[in-house]
Chains A and B, each alone.
Chain A
Amino acid sequence: MTPTTTGRTLDSGEARRRRTEARWRYLADTFTLWRRNRLMVIGTAIILGLILVVLMAPFIAAQDPFEQVLGDRLLAPSAGHLFGTDGLGRDIFARVIYGARVTLTIALLVAAIGTPLGMLIGVVAGYLGGAVDEILMRLADVFLAFPRLILAIAFAAALGPGVENAVLAIAIAHWPSYARLARAETLNVKSNDYIQAMRVLGAGKVRIMASHIAPLCMSSIIVRMSLDMGTIILTAAGLGFLGLGAQPPVPEWGLMVSDGRQYLVDQWWVSTLPGMAILVVVMGFNLLGDGVRDVLDPRQRQA
């Protein structure tokens, strides 16, 4: 007699096909959700535009962002200089365009340094528990007790000005919230049966953390990160404005706003236009982040 009670097992070919199908369906659903969310479409457009500007900067801006033409100081916006020129006769439009590179670099680097660091600390603290957890989380509490900008200013002041140090300072001010999040997620999945099963199979702590717990924290971390991108850019611009971030002649938006302060009354374009660029990009990231949160939320998906 043949055993029929176990049901039919899928052969590997069919299993693979079904998996691919499910993935495509997931992507298609995501696309539908994305298309329905008008604000998110706008956000995506802004960010795609930003990336395009970053890649094509030399083709979009006719002028050199560093070239000083002292005879053309403080020209009003015109066809030749779309955004006018600044106090040293540099084309502001070109500087705003090239500034997009600086801004995006800072935001991506902070995300690339601070987020994994926070995730690592959170997962380790959550999984190991005990004294390690206590120490790491109290450390995170100390960081969280201060406004991020004050913390970033403190570290930027200690490290010295410059784009690299601004990135480090913001990343340092930035990890604790991710550590918190990753720890909460870890505590959530730690006691699940399949983790226990892995331990029974003899997997080491590092292996469990790296290949079984960390991937599960990913989606909430990504959501948080996309929501945080705007804040990172604002902090970086704030540091630049205070003179603690990028240094002249780097075309950083916050720095440009600060440079323009002395010409505010008669040459308003010097400082307001770069600020407008910050506003648009941060808004793009915020729209996108809000959307990502909605799209990745399983409860929204079912609807």
Chain B
Amino acid sequence: MVMTFFTSLVVPLDPLASLAGPQAPPETVERLRVLYGFDQPLYVQFGRYLTRLAQGDLGVSFQTSRPVLQDILTYFPATLELATFAIMVGIGIGIPLGVLSAVYKNRAIDQFCRVLSLIGVSTPVFWLGLVLLLVFYFKLGWLPEPGRLDIMLLEPPRVTGVLLVDSALARDWEVFADALKHLVLPASVLGLVGVAGISRITRSSMLEVLSQEYIKTARIKGLGEFLVITRHALRNALVPTVTVVGLTYGLLLEGSVLTETIFSWPGLGRYMATAFLTMDLNAIVGGTMFVALTFCIVNLAVDLAYAFLNPKITYTEP
């Protein structure tokens, strides 16, 4: 928190210059400086900042002229929705791939999975987004245009900001279906980025678990191979996977600038990118702080999930 404040000070551009415009006379700039308190010494600025922060006030965005907190709360649900679906795509593809390549180690299927995950990390997301848009929207017409909702449809009354939840609450199934369709492409693009990491960690931890004695015991007992893999091996192999999934989810929540730009997705990533481009200082500081907070919460959740998955880990004093 302290760091984000000072980092924003290190940024060598004068935010007022971009606010007042290039032709603004010096007096105007000076007046704005006094208005926003930039004329005060640093410790006074910092003190004021802390006081406002304690009251939950992140300041007003120069860009939208609305409180930053309100802006963030407007944009974040869209990112939350996208990131959640993306991580579902990542898990849904990554874990089966990892399991398959561990079970068929060094066979053709393993090589195939490795190459697939390699392509996953090597693809520029913005390019993949464009190609998928070209194929599925422009050429085949199976999926709708970029954005969150068809322009002919009205947004349901805002309750959570997550369109799927809101439309379900309003029982507006037409909007629900349309929002879902709009999610497919961006979520797949974003999710594919995570597939590589998830499948790689699943593969290596599966390999480790499969070489354990109790797997042999399970096999000797005469258990079917499918049950051995799903019930005995996979469950134990999931612990390291959860970490990677958690970290990936954290990264996705922090906003994926490129994906949101291509799919005109009104999320946090795009908001932050615009803030950086226009040197919208309050939005930058507020946004980064929010991002850091989300990251911490996700990490905490991952730690707690550990205890749930692995009873050997407890957080109480022995």
Contact = CB atoms under 8 A, between A and B. Distances in A.
Interface string A280-298: 0011001100100000000
Interface string A220-260: 00000000001000100110011010000000001001100
Contact of A145 (B119, B133, B269, B292): B292
Given A142-B3, A149-B258, A238 B276 contact: no
A213 to B, nearest CB: 28
Interface of A: 39, 142, 145-147, 149-150, 153-154, 157-159, 230, 234, 237-238, 241-242, 244, 254, 257-258, 261, 264-265, 268, 271-272, 275-276, 278-279, 282-283, 286-287, 290
B124 A257 contact: yes
A280 to B, nearest CB: 8
Contacts of B251: 147
B138 interface: yes
12 contacts: A39-B114, A154-B11, A158-B279, A238-B257, A242-B273, A257-B126, A258-B126, A272-B127, A275-B126, A275-B131, A278-B124, A286-B121
Given A157-B276, A287-B118, A149 B131 contact: no
A163 B1 CA distance: 31
Contacts of A257: 124, 126-127, 130
Interface in B121-145: 121-127, 130-131, 133-134, 138
Given A146-B291, A153-B276, A272 B122 contact: no
B277 interface: yes
Main SS at interface, chain B: helix
B124 A264 contact: no
B272 interface: yes
B122 A282 contact: yes
Interface residues of B, number: 38
A238 B131 contact: no
Contact of B258 (A242, A271, A272): A242
A244 B3 CA distance: 24
B115 to A, nearest CB: 8
Contact of B7 (A142, A238, A283): A142
A283 B122 contact: yes
Contact of B257 (A153, A268, A271, A287): A153
A145 B1 CA distance: 12
B295 interface: yes
B130 A154 contact: no
Contacts of A145: 292, 295
Nearest to A148: B251
